[in-house]
Amino acid sequence: MFRAYKVQLDVNNKQETLLLQHVGCARWAYNWALVKKKEAFDKKEKIPNHFDLHKILNKLKLSEIPWMYNSSKCAPQKALQDCDNAFQNFFRNCKKNVKGKKGFPKFKSKKNEKQSFRLEGCITVKSDYIKLPRIGKLKLAEKDYIPTDCKILSVTVSKRAGKWFVSVQVETPDREQLATNNNVIGIDLGIKTLATCSDGTTYENPKALKNNLKRLKRKQRQFSKKKKGSKNKEKAKRKLAKLHYHISNIRKDYLHKITSKIINENQVIVLEDLKVSNMLKNHKLAQAISDVGLYEFRRQIEYKAKWNKREVIFADTFYPSSKLCSCCKNIKKALNLSDRIYKCDNCGLEIERDLNASLNLKQIYTGSSSGIQACGDGSSSLSGTTLVSPSMKQEFNKKSREYILKV
């Protein structure tokens, strides 16, 4: 099992200079490789891989770029591999005929807030420090977090908002599994309430961006008014980056806490297969949807379920969980976004809208004694996840984009 442990570094000025040198080497090698690949691509010649480019780079070190000997050879090597991967991803998207931009590789700039480089080789990890080649010992801000008895595969050192971090990828034995249980939970995600569970539990939206929006606008205004190229503009940029980092930390911390709680308490989790990119096209709700972090919630649920051998089921994208009555299964077509109480016209049920949707999601799994197979199977990118259709008794109408219940 491969895992990555990310910890903040406590570095002095001399160490920070060494780290910046490695960042510069990796960035230069990546941009140089991108130029070579683009030239071959434009001339319709064979695109050189990172092995070919590494041989040329070693010759350049002897004459044109001797300053690269001051840094570890792994930093430019890994940058060349990253450039290879970027081109492979671009060609894969072209073959799959992905809509929109195909992701042609872009040049890296030292003006970007996030800078990083990767290393391999002789790396030592202790409880309070990590030793990297050509850099030496770097003090860790958090002790006894990175395991010292595992095989180290690679290390990524990055800088964000003026802080340095190290991410260590290790090969670890399988985790100690959680005790299995029979709990099944349906979760309806929203904006006002982040998650409404079928057991009645609700998780409020922390609104990390909304609560800090005034401060963010002020910092952005101060940054834009500073003279271009001045030291004051650099100071304002750092303050703005720290605030962005603070907002993202609030969101990620809250999501980690609630997803861990959900995984620990439930064996089967049923979610909607939401298309967040399509939802963001609504400009009136785009900022609020981005502030919630719907995709990050799903990503954490998926990989934590895989670690703990839990099962995640995704309902079909067009499954009418909000319009469907959880009691009599009647579909209410006239349901506006402002209607927070679901009132069934058939059986008279009155229930909170999001709770009704979560109950419908749970019933996708529990509606049949034979479990998931009664709903149908589908594949997913992660093991332990299943994509199901709502029910064998429902048919999807492509013209109206709705499900039709058949008795």
Residue 188: active-site member:
yes
Instruction: Compute CA distances 90 → 44, 78, 106, whole Å.
Output: 16, 18, 11
Q: Length of the chain in residues, anyone?
A: 407
Question: Computed from CA positions of residues 346, 351, 357, 361, in that sequence, does the dihedral angle turn out positive or negative?
Answer: negative
Contacts of 293 (CB under 8 A, 6+ apart): 251, 252, 255
Tell me the chain's radius of gyration from C-alpha atoms. Answer: 26
Token pair of 67, please? 């300053």
DSSP codes, 75-102: HHHHHHHHHHHHHHHHHHHHHTT-SS--
Q: What number of CA atoms fall less than 13 Å from residue 354's CA on the CB side? A: 20
Instruction: Determine the Cα–Cα distance for residues 7 and 143; give it in Å rounded to an integer.
Output: 9
Largest separation between any pair of C-alpha atoms in the chain: 83
Catalytic residue, candidates 84, 272, 291, 311? 272
Q: Which of 84, 291, 316, 354 is catalytic?
A: 354
Out of 82, 84, 188, 291, pick the active-site residue: 188
354 assigned to active site = yes
What tokens appear for 370 in the block?
């034979």
291 is known as an active-site residue: no
Transcribe 224-286 into DSSP letters: HHSPTTSHHHHHHHHHHHHHHHHHHHHHHHHHHHHHHHHHHH-SEEEEE---HHHHTT-TTTH
**Closest residue by Cα to residue 268 from 170, 363, 352, 347:** 363
DSSP code, position 69: G
* Alpha-carbon distances of 218 from 81, 160, 245, 249, rounded to whole Å: 40, 21, 16, 20
Enumerate the active-site residues: 188, 272, 354
